[in-house]
């Protein structure tokens, strides 16, 4: 998995996030997903399942697809954690960091490549990352 600005996740700060987002070449890809605050819990879980079932990645929660910093009012670290624990089996390895940017709280969820695949949603679905999308696996292989 890639590192944001070639830094360890725990060492990232607000300036690193702004610099990363402002790079023209940064867009949603195999390792990066942008989600606005109004994303539903099931959609967020699909993304986390997909990252855990492939090579891992980052979800920027509170940032639109066109990289506008919108912030989070509905999501917080406790809700993210509870949603993951209640909705995926087994529980993937992840980290969450909160950043304050332009008076907006955003969260970055780092999902690590899982070693207990598949990570199955509480609806019985399995997702994988394909290019810049999370796709439901429909075949048993």
Do the beta carbons of residue 88 and residue 121 sit within 8 Å? yes
Q: What is the pTM of this model?
A: 0.95
Task: Retrieve residue 74's tokens.
Answer: 């509905």
**What pLDDT is attached to residue 28?**
95
Q: What is the DSSP string of 27-93?
A: -S-SSEEEE-TT--HHHHHHHHHHHHHTT-EEEEETB-TT--B---SS--HHHHHHHHHHHEESPPP
**What pLDDT is attached to residue 141?**
54
* pLDDT by 10s per residue, the chain, length 141: 778 988 999 999 999 999 999 999 999 999 999 999 999 999 999 999 999 999 999 999 999 999 999 999 999 999 999 999 999 999 999 999 999 998 999 999 999 999 999 999 999 999 999 999 999 998 765
**What pLDDT is attached to residue 139?**
73
DSSP symbol at 141: -
67 exposed, middle or buried (CB, 10 Å; 0-12, 13-18, 19+)?
Answer: middle
Give the separation between CA 27 and CA 125, rounded to whole angstroms: 26
C-alpha distances (whole Å) from 114 to each of 26, 90, 101 are: 24, 9, 30
């Amino acid at each position: 998995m890639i590192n944001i600005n070639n830094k360890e996740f725990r060492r990232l700060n607000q300036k690193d996030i702004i610099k990363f987002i402002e790079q023209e070449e940064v867009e949603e890809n195999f390792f990066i997903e942008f989600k606005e605050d109004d994303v539903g819990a099931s959609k967020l879980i699909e993304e986390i399942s997909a990252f855990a079932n492939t090579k891992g990645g980052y979800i920027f929660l509170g940032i639109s697809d066109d990289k506008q910093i919108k912030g989070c009012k509905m999501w917080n670290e406790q809700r993210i954690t509870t949603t993951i624990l209640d909705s995926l089996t087994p529980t993937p390895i992840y980290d969450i960091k909160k950043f304050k940017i332009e008076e907006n709280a955003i969260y970055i969820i780092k999902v690590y490549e899982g070693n207990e695949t598949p990570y199955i949603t509480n609806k019985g679905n399995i997702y994988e990352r394909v290019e810049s999308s999370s796709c439901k696996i429909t075949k048993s292989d």
